[in-house]
């Protein structure tokens, strides 16, 4: 029997690839796996019953149904665990593409000692990576430092590293983050926390941490007890969190939905509006304290 080709695809709706048969009309599983790594068999949709049927496999050799491959499209079978990993990798790749190339931004440095100069600031932050710009904000009349400044890096990864930790500068702890103005005057600061819906009970804190670490540094994972089918994951970078929002990801074979978790400080004015006197100044003061000394769970 002369060599013929059968049509094989990963999915019924995808464009098939032709795989050569052997002289006796059979197809080697190795021939299929050469084009579809990890393949363990084939299946096809019966023209009669419209149900999926498996192709007989004997010692690595696939045998044509009814001794004739016909003009059907055969779909590749994968081991369950292997298929799950492939789905997770595809989802991860899609989100990484969505994130694209990130640009650096000016970061505000809060809590600077009065004596810190721009050269001091540059010398310190240069230990993390190349610095494009540093500035210490000073009073126009007195020339004294206002206790904060700005820094900008060449590399985005350096920016993320700097934002993920506190800094001891001239004997004082300082915070480095995106300024409020980056979100716009009428917009809330973007949250670094995401809501993970449709979780299953077999998902642990370590499972979620290990999965989401592929997108960026994870600072916190919270699963409510008793179990309520959702969790919260906090990243060091708010851009990573925002890039995941709206995505459906595969974790341990289950599709979970990622959405934005509203930052706590968005509800501060609403909280204080219920207090006697409804003091806006009290709310503003609380917001400032939250801004300068952020919790690791916000």
Instruction: Kindly report the three-state secondary structure assignment for every residue of the chain.
Output: CCCCEEEEECCCCCCCEEEECCCCCCEEHHHHHHHCCCCCEEEEECCCCCCEEECCEECCEECCHHHCCCCCEEEEECCHHHHHHHHHHHHHHHHHHHHCCCCCCCEEEECCCCCCCHHHHHHHHCCCCCEEEEEEEECCCCCCEEEEEEEEECCHHHHHHHHCCCEEECCEEEEEECCHHHHCCCCCCCCCEEEEECCCCCCCHHHHHHHHCCCCCEEEEECCCCCCCEEEEEECCHHHHHHHCCCEEEECCEEEEEEECCCHHHHHHHHHHCCCCCCHHHHHHHHHHHHHCCCCCC
CA distances from 105 to 102, 151, 154, 218, 260 (A): 10, 9, 9, 21, 22
Q: Return d(Cα 54, Cα 37) in angstroms, integer.
A: 19
pTM of the full structure: 0.35
pLDDT value of residue 284:
47
Q: Is the dihedral of CA 185, 285, 177, 116 positive or negative?
A: positive
- Which region among 7-21, 115-129, 221-235 has the lowest average model confidence (pLDDT)? 7-21
Residue burial 95-108, b: 16+ Cβ < 10 Å; e: rest: beeeeeeeebbbbb
pLDDT value of residue 39:
85
For the beta carbon of residue 89, count every other beta carbon within 10 angstroms.
12
pLDDT value of residue 248:
86
pLDDT in tens, 65-112: 988 888 899 999 888 655 555 566 666 665 555 555 567 788 989 889
Identify the band that residue 129 occupies on the pLDDT scale cut at 50, 70 and 90.
very high
Average pLDDT rounded to a whole number, residues 117-143: 92
Tell me if 290 sits within 8 A of 282, measured CB to CB: no
73-77 and 5-9 beta bridge pairing: parallel
- Which region among 119-133, 173-187, 224-238 has the lowest average model confidence (pLDDT)? 173-187
- Which region among 133-147, 158-172, 242-256, 258-272 has the lowest average model confidence (pLDDT)? 258-272
pLDDT value of residue 94:
59
Tell me how long the chain is: 298
- Which region among 165-169, 274-278, 290-294 has the lowest average model confidence (pLDDT)? 290-294
pLDDT value of residue 292:
36
pLDDT in tens, 224-251: 999 999 999 998 887 788 888 888 899 9
For the beta carbon of residue 124, count every other beta carbon within 10 angstroms.
19
Identify the band that residue 190 occupies on the pLDDT scale cut at 50, 70 and 90.
low
- Which region among 35-49, 121-135, 183-197, 274-288 has the lowest average model confidence (pLDDT)? 274-288
């Amino acid at each position: 029997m002369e060599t013929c080709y059968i049509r094989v695809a990963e999915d019924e709706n995808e464009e098939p690839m032709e795989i050569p048969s052997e002289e006796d009309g059979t197809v080697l599983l190795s021939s299929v796996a050469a084009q579809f790594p990890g393949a363990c068999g084939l299946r096809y949709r019966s023209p009669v019953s419209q149900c999926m049927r498996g192709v007989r496999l004997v010692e690595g050799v696939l045998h044509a149904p009814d001794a004739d491959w016909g003009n059907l499209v055969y779909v590749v079978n994968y081991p369950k665990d292997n298929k799950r990993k492939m789905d997770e990798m595809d989802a991860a790749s899609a989100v990484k593409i969505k994130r694209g190339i990130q640009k650096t931004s000016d970061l505000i440095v809060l809590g600077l000692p009065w004596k810190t100069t721009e050269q001091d600031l540059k010398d310190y932050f240069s230990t993390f990576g190349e610095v494009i710009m540093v500035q210490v904000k000073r009073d126009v009349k007195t020339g004294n430092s206002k206790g904060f400044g700005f820094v900008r890096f060449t590399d985005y990864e350096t920016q993320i590293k700097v934002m993920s930790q506190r800094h001891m500068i001239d004997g004082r702890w300082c915070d480095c983050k995106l300024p409020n103005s980056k979100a716009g005057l009428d917009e809330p600061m973007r949250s670094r926390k995401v809501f993970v819906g449709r979780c299953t009970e077999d998902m642990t804190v370590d499972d979620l941490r290990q999965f989401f670490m592929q997108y960026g540094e994870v600072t916190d994972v919270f699963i409510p007890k008793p179990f309520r089918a959702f969790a919260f994951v906090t990243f060091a970078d708010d851009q990573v969190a925002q890039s995941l929002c709206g995505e459906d990801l595969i974790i341990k074979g289950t599709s979970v939905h990622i959405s934005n978790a509203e930052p706590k400080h968005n509800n501060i004015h609403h909280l204080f509006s219920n207090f006697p006197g409804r003091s806006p100044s009290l709310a503003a003061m609380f917001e400032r304290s939250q801004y300068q000394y952020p919790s690791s769970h916000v």
